[in-house]
Chains A and B, each alone.
Chain A
Amino acid sequence: MKAIPAGTVRAFLVELVIYSALVIAYFFLVLHFVANWINEFEPRHIKIYAVVSIGLIVGQAVLLEIVTTWLMRRLQGGRSE
């Protein structure tokens, strides 16, 4: 096993804290409202629900990846300065 640089571990821990705060905010601002709409939508339009489900999960994944990547760059940039 190669040694994992201490800076990398530190960066991940800092990222984890910032990310957790962002996710909590996202949870209350977005998911809370999406939930009501989805719950009413699912029994009436099951085919559209199936497509929308994939769209939502992929969209959220891409969004969260952009956020985590941005956080990593900021943290790594901050260390090198």
Chain B
Amino acid sequence: MIAMLFPISHSEISPIYLAVSGFLIGIMGGFFGVGGSFIAGPALRLVGLDWNFAVGTDLAQIVGKSVVAAKRHRALGNVDLRLGLIMAFGTIGGAEIGAQLIQMLKRAGNVNFVVSIVSITVFTSISGFMLWEGLATRRSQKRRGLQGKRKDKKSKEDESAFDHIAQGVQRLKLWPMITLPTSGIKSISLWAILFVAFIGGVFSGFLGGGAGYIRMPSMVYILGIPTHLAVGTDLFEIVISASYGTFTHALKGNVDIMIALVMQTGAAIGAQIGAIATQYFTGPKIRLAFVPLPLFGAAIVIYTLVTGHKI
């Protein structure tokens, strides 16, 4: 494959490899509402980029991709604007903490090892959790079907095995309490939303991308946001958080914007396909289809960590 020189990150990468990676990541972003950093970061590591550049550059390409995907989800009515704007405050704070951690590791000279270990742990945990929850929800649906206890179609499609957790969080009376009419939540503590956003922000700044892999499930399971709204709102959220992440990582010399621009050419069309595909799947099925993706990312990181080679 023809390699192109990227002087900012001192790397030589095939533009076709970047565009195809972007295309696959774009489909994931549009479909699952995640930035795809569990594939993008490892994909950049696989061609020899240090983790600090993989994280910063991934954040940059996600800004563009998320603008496209969030706009599409907004048109489909999948975005809770109020929730997204509130979450932005928590995410930006978390993203800065994550970026500072990367800087500390870069200075200490062990950024590649530490981020690899953390990413493998996070990615495999997410897959395991999503698999377990998805199967539990489907079992619960089948049981209810046999008992003849039929719920209305919408709630059946979107129910979760963790509904009791979301209900508990919504009952927490920690002032100030707010209402999210678009998500159908009558009362929830502002701090619960900010906490979920902050944790997502830390992961975003530390592992790159929008951290939709942790924010989207958290929105569904902890805050009780309907899956389709969680997907769209998460993408809207990623636009804001990834923009800040790109800015702060660029100041720290961790962004090669040319790599991001080439990746984004593929991601634009992938995001369009992914967003439309969500109309053909229900909540639990979307979550089950998500399961192998972080595992694939973890496998790539293990490969680069064990062999020390790039393709």
Interfacial residues, chain A to chain B (CB-CB below 8 A) = 1-4, 8, 12, 15-16, 19, 23, 26-27, 31, 34-35, 38-39, 42, 46-47, 49-54, 56-58, 60-62, 64-65, 68-69, 72
Contacts and interface: CB of A to CB of B under 8 A. Distances in A.
Contacts of B246: 50, 53-54, 57
Nearest to B280: A2
A42 B15 CA distance: 21
Contact of B264 (A8, A46, A60, A68): A60
Nearest to A59: B64
Interface in B237-267: 243, 246-247, 250-251, 253, 255, 257-258, 260-262, 264-266
B7 A39 contact: yes
Interface residues of B, number: 38
Interface in B195-248: 243, 246-247
A48 to B, nearest CB: 10
A62 B70 CA distance: 12
B68 A34 contact: no
Interface of B: 7-8, 15, 19, 60-61, 63-65, 67-68, 71, 243, 246-247, 250-251, 253, 255, 257-258, 260-262, 264-266, 268-269, 272-273, 276-277, 279-282, 285
Chain A contact surface mostly: helix
Given A1-B281, A53-B255, A61 B64 contact: yes
B38 to A, nearest CB: 20
A54 B264 contact: no
Given A19-B269, A49-B250, A62 B67 contact: yes
Contact of A60 (B64, B250, B273): B64
Contacts of B280: 1-4
Contacts of A72: 272
A51 B36 CA distance: 23
A23 to B, nearest CB: 5
Contacts of B255: 50, 53
Contact of B269 (A31, A53, A68): A68
Pick the 8 closest A-B CB pairs, nearest first: A61-B64, A50-B250, A64-B268, A57-B64, A53-B257, A39-B7, A23-B265, A2-B280
B264 A31 contact: no
Contacts of A16: 269
Contacts of B268: 61, 64-65, 68
B72 to A, nearest CB: 8
Contacts of A51: 247
Contacts of B264: 57, 60-61, 64
B232 to A, nearest CB: 16
Nearest to B248: A50
Contacts of A65: 67-68, 71, 268, 272
A7 to B, nearest CB: 13
A36 B282 CA distance: 46
A8 to B, nearest CB: 8
